[in-house]
Structure 1
Amino acid sequence: MTDSNPAVVLVTGGSGLVGKGIEHIINTEPVGSRFGKRPNETWIFATSSEADLRDPEQTRKLFDKYKPTHVIHLAAMVGGLFKNMKYKLTFLRDNVLMNDNVLHTACERKTQKVISCLSTCVFPDKVEYPLDETKIHLGPPHSSNFGYAHAKRLVDVQNHAYKEEFGCNFTSAIPTNVFGPHDNFDLEGAHVIPALIHKCYLAKKNNTPFIVAGTGKPLRQFIYSYDLAKLFIWQLREYDDVEPVILSVGEDEEVSIKDVADAIVKAVDFKGEYAFDTTRADGQFRKPASNKKLLELMGGFEFTPFDQALAASVKWFLDNYNNARTGNV
């Protein structure tokens, strides 16, 4: 992206956790700074109410309406561990359709660049850690989310094929577990941090025990949505290779689910009974990912400390409870 040519950046899934994070950074960082808006840029944050990207015709109409020069493709059918286990075919099919329509339309409309958002679940279940960008296709993904994982893994295959056949500048980002303001706190489909924040809030409100599913021992790398937003903006402007980049804190920053729950109890100021239901599934124990490639390309990056980011996320949830995505409680 050069400063001289006008750019229209279309963000699909614009009302989701990462889309809202990018919107926040674009609107709050100084204009012209590394992560701020450029004077010649227009940013469009599209939502599913504007176009169902599973439908090729609606996808084409969205592109024709905004004529994007650049796309950050975040729209996806997503959910936590238990939802992934339950709806494997839906997750596979809906995501394959969305990704295929976006990439095909971007190619047809000569879009200059597309970054698609993958997930660390694309990696093989049995693989040597830490995960890095070269290991995506070394074996099958974990059985708990193979539908979603294969759909996302296919994007990497498509990116390479589009580049080889048509010269398209398509690439992808692989974030680790994301959390922050505007997360999905619906207990049926939420990921671990928003689900635990919501459960702890309800336990405090109803004076009931706060019960965490599993042993609390699994380890995860969590990235704050506002940090991830900056990394997406960097990738859009400064990275032009087809190979994906892991967007993550370092592998030395793994946090246990128990540490997460402890931090939430503190942030919510919960004083009641708090325990782990060890009869529930833990999922994968750990899947550390290396951010070495990212930091070498960027020249370093200041991540928000976990406790600080978590406290900000809890505060956002408490302040916006009536408008947050909480499902039907």
Structure 2
Amino acid sequence: MAVVLVTGGTGLVGQALKHVIDTEPEGSKYGKLKGETWIFASSADGDLRDPAQTLAMYEKYKPTHVIHLAALVGGLFKNMKYKLTFLRENILINDNVLHASHTQKTTKLISCLSTCVFPDAVTYPLDETKIHSGPPHESNFGYAHAKRMVDVQNHAYKEEFGCNFTSAIPTNIFGPHDNYDLEDAHVIPALVHKCYLAKQNGTPFIVSGTGKPLRQFIFSRDLAKLFVWMLRDYDDVEPIILSVGEDEEVSIKQVTDAIVKAVGFKGEYSFDTTRADGQFRKPASNKKLLERLGPNSGFQFTPFEEALDISVKWFIENYDTARTGMKKKA
């Protein structure tokens, strides 16, 4: 019987996968297969920075398939402040998971990367061939290099041992169960939390940066369905970008406007242009994804504002726990 282990199972994407597996009909395109077991592991199941604890987790659950989501993650300013920590801890996590997947004869491993692995100076749109063609942006130095090494290791494990290891590269993810901690959340959950507090307190809503940078966002539950598709149908060692199309880039100003609407904030807001913007844009091509899905896949991305409404509703309903976020999803 197949056993699918999801590392980082209590995080944003892990909980989206759980939602999909729990709500899609058994045996359907994105549902679990008959007799299949899904395990959503958290740091309580073992510290993946420790090889012994990682191996113990594999020996306990005996996974035939692994979706590796666990990572030390954080927002722009956290990444800039703790470069070595992000580099070293993520290298340890990834190396232990890949090695255990090999030694325990896991049938298939899918790791989750990020578009921050791509070079800073690169021609756009980003595609899967450009990962190693130059250094990443300085603001994501540690995390990006650690994630790049997963792709290097996937190829090495395949060439030396024939392992079926691959990786997904999502664009900016958002949704229920995100990290809404004000200090180290990514852009959408941070802005949702700030906007909610401004509404509750009757205070101004101030957004860091100019509002001009452009991003592609993917709803976590859409991404979860694509992970299930990869689990069933994608066996190429080469990574694949999971994203909406380039034509769906939105500015931070557009994101903020949508958040203001979803939260129901009636006050005025402004942009603090003294704060860093990060990369201005990094559009990624989903051409390979669409080709592999095929014209009759029936897969559709959730419209941005609809997905944002779901996310904001979840945050407000779970405010007491959601507001503190999760520092680690390992």
Range into which the TM-score falls when normalised by the shorter chain: over 0.9
Give how far 1:94 is off.
0.4
Contact persistence 1:196–1:212 (CA under 8 A)? yes
Counterpart of 2:310, as a letter, is: A
Given the alignment of the two structures, is residue 247 of structure 1 paired with residue 242 of structure 2, yes or no? yes
Alignment equivalent of 2:217, drawn from 210, 219, 222:
222
Alignment equivalent of 1:171, drawn from 166, 170, 173:
166
Alignment equivalent of 1:208, drawn from 203, 207, 210:
203
Contact persistence 1:163–1:169 (CA under 8 A)? yes
Alignment equivalent of 1:258, drawn from 247, 250, 253:
253
Give how far 1:327 is off.
5.2
Q: 2:60 & 2:219 partners in 1: Cα distance? A: 32
Given the alignment of the two structures, is residue 8 of structure 1 paired with residue 3 of structure 2, yes or no? yes
Provide the residue aligned with 1:305 in structure 2: 303
Counterpart of 1:209, as a letter, is: P
Given the alignment of the two structures, is residue 181 of structure 1 paired with residue 179 of structure 2, yes or no? no
Given the alignment of the two structures, is residue 54 of structure 1 paired with residue 49 of structure 2, yes or no? yes
Q: 2:269 & 2:156 partners in 1: Cα distance? A: 50
Counterpart of 1:312, as a letter, is: I
Please state whether the residue corresponding to 1:202 is helix, strand or coil: helix
Structure 1: which 4+ aligned runs deviate by more than 4 Å?
none
Please state whether the residue corresponding to 2:212 is helix, strand or coil: coil
Contact persistence 1:183–1:325 (CA under 8 A)? no
Q: Deviations over 1:212-243 (max 9, x none)?
A: 00000000000000000000000011000100
Please state whether the residue corresponding to 2:291 is helix, strand or coil: helix
Q: Equivalences for 1:1-329 in 2 at 5 Å?
A: 6-299=1-294, 300=297, 301-326=299-324
Q: Deviations over 1:258-283 (max 9, x none)?
A: 00000000111101120000010000
- Which segments of 5 or more consecutive residues in structure 1 lack a partner in the other structure? 1-5
Q: 2:267 & 2:81 partners in 1: Cα distance? A: 32
Give how far 1:50 is off.
1.3
Please state whether the residue corresponding to 1:9 is helix, strand or coil: strand
Provide the residue aligned with 1:3 in structure 2: none
Counterpart of 1:303, as a letter, is: F
- Of structures 1 and 2, the one with the larger relative CO (CA 8 A, separation 6+) is 2
- Which segments of 5 or more consecutive residues in structure 2 lack a partner in the other structure? none
Number of matched residues? 323
Please state whether the residue corresponding to 2:319 is helix, strand or coil: coil
Q: 1:117 & 1:52 partners in 2: Cα distance? A: 18
Q: TM-score, normalised by structure 1?
A: 0.97
Q: 2:123 & 2:4 partners in 1: Cα distance? A: 37
Q: 1:322 & 1:225 partners in 2: Cα distance? A: 21
Please state whether the residue corresponding to 1:276 is helix, strand or coil: strand
Q: 2:253 & 2:148 partners in 1: Cα distance? A: 30
Identity of aligned residues (%): 78
Please state whether the residue corresponding to 1:174 is helix, strand or coil: strand
Q: 1:130 & 1:61 partners in 2: Cα distance? A: 42
Counterpart of 2:223, as a letter, is: L
Q: 1:297 & 1:325 partners in 2: Cα distance? A: 38
